[in-house]
Structure 1
Amino acid sequence: MSDIHSLNLRDLPLYFTYKRINDKADHYQGTFHAHQGVEILIVHEGTGTLIIEQKSYKLAPGMLCIFQPYQLHHIQVDLSESTPFIRSIVHYEPTLFEAYMEKWPSLQSFYKHIHMGSLGEQCVYDTGAAEPLDSLLGNWERTLPLLSKSDIYEEYSLFLVAFLRIFKHLWEQKQKPSASQSASRVPHQAERMLEWLQEHYKEPLRLEQMASELHLSPHHLSHLFKACTGSSITDYVAAKKIQQAILLLTASDYSISRIGEEIGLTNSSYFCKLFKAQLGITPHQYRKQFRSKRYPMPR
């Protein structure tokens, strides 16, 4: 969707909008685009055409759609005074919430499938009012502005679990029986880069090694990564290290120096300097404020 085209899911791990309206006065015009993360679209009202890669779907009320990471898509909407385009969107970075699904094997399997699986169809129809889903989205819209920063990441994860539990039921009711959850899709090059960095971010960054293993030139690798994510590889790795440090600061009693080692920064002074540059406070201050429920969220 064009309204989340430039969304950086490292800064905002979950994006949500409820019953956003475009009518004839808005001159709505979507564009072909792709983005990081999984986007789920719920169409409440509207007519037109949705194109995912090279496949076309008729836009209709009660339609649910899944856009996988870096998958090119486009919506052409027929707006009139009597038929606005009303939709809700849930868009999230799958790697940030996967751990929250581990206690529910069936939900975890679905979570992985809509992220990495080969979807037989990417839209289902005639889900009707889907009252439980609509009620959850409406309540979340009212709750979200009231949340404190200290609770928001936990609340994101709880919302996503509840949302996907309802969405999974609606999706599987309408999905064709032949659709298999065992087949994997071919990932976009940018997603392969992110997966490589997930495995190697603790190590010193060697662009030549990364380019060689992904069968790209270093120049093309850097250019493509920047174009797809809006970040340089160096900045992304730094942010990834800090993200992991935050998890260890809040979920373990490891010393600051041990946490630095765990994320590949053996120089404790440099780790503290990098952490403060990203968050404005030291790791020790972050942990102290977290435990008093006054910590800031990562930018």
Structure 2
Amino acid sequence: MANKSDYKKLTRLLNDSAVELIGEELVFKVHYWGAMPQHFDNPLHRHSYFEVCYVMEGEGYYYESDVEYPLLQGTLFFSRPGMWHQIKSQDGLALLYVAFEIDEARSKKESIHRYLQLLHNNRIVVPSADDTITAQTWRTLLTLCKQDHYLVKEAVRCFASALLVSFYPEFSQSLEYEETTDKQQVSAYLQRAKLFIEDNLTLSLSLQQLSSYLHITERHLSRLFAEKVGQTFSHYVQERRVQKSIELLLETDWTISRIAEETGFESIHYFTRVFTSKIGVPPSKFRKSQLSEIPH
């Protein structure tokens, strides 16, 4: 069991000896290493580099692009360059983390291209990662900081380099059925996608949010909508919002403002504009004309 002193030693040791990691195919420039026994909230922010974190103990949440991911002991997660994100924890997380980028001038082109595919990958959280090579390497580094040996720094550099290399296979793993063309599986994905959309129309739905829920890539989900539904994801969602609003206009006495909110439109003005574009008349006029035709 690591104590506060161990976390401080690991932070110092890594930042002293593992800021430039030279491998056969990739060279990494590390901006900083961190080992915190109690990490609480941080502000919404973004980086120009990768940051990978491992939860040793505690509970909390990781937020990225309006999606909330639970953090528990053993969770491995990473922040991609340019993505707004935030970590929150009420009681604090024991967290190990590293921020880095690839030294492209000193790395092999094919390896750079392969590693940078993580920029577009959908898998950013591994919930139970304790048995992965990545987690085991983190724990080895924590153990090494307790050693008093003249070769400790050399060992730390080796394990630190192996750690950064291990991120690619861990976060780029193809999930089962991800690119399947099996008709039954495709149908199941689309059914789950449509049910999720229908049940969450009040939310600001995104392709990333839905692909995370289904555990497939955004690219694959986008292609399923285009090829099997004949619409883009955003057009399908907007159409379902309008159809739901029609039902509410005819079946309830709710205000136009409440219907706009219940169907996920950001404002009554945007709702009115989209509805008028799709149906040909504003929602209030549509309701009045339809209800006047119902016999009393």
Name the TM tier (shorter chain): 0.3 to 0.5
Larger radius of gyration: 2
TM-score for both structures, normalised by structure 2: 0.41
TM-score for both structures, normalised by structure 1: 0.41
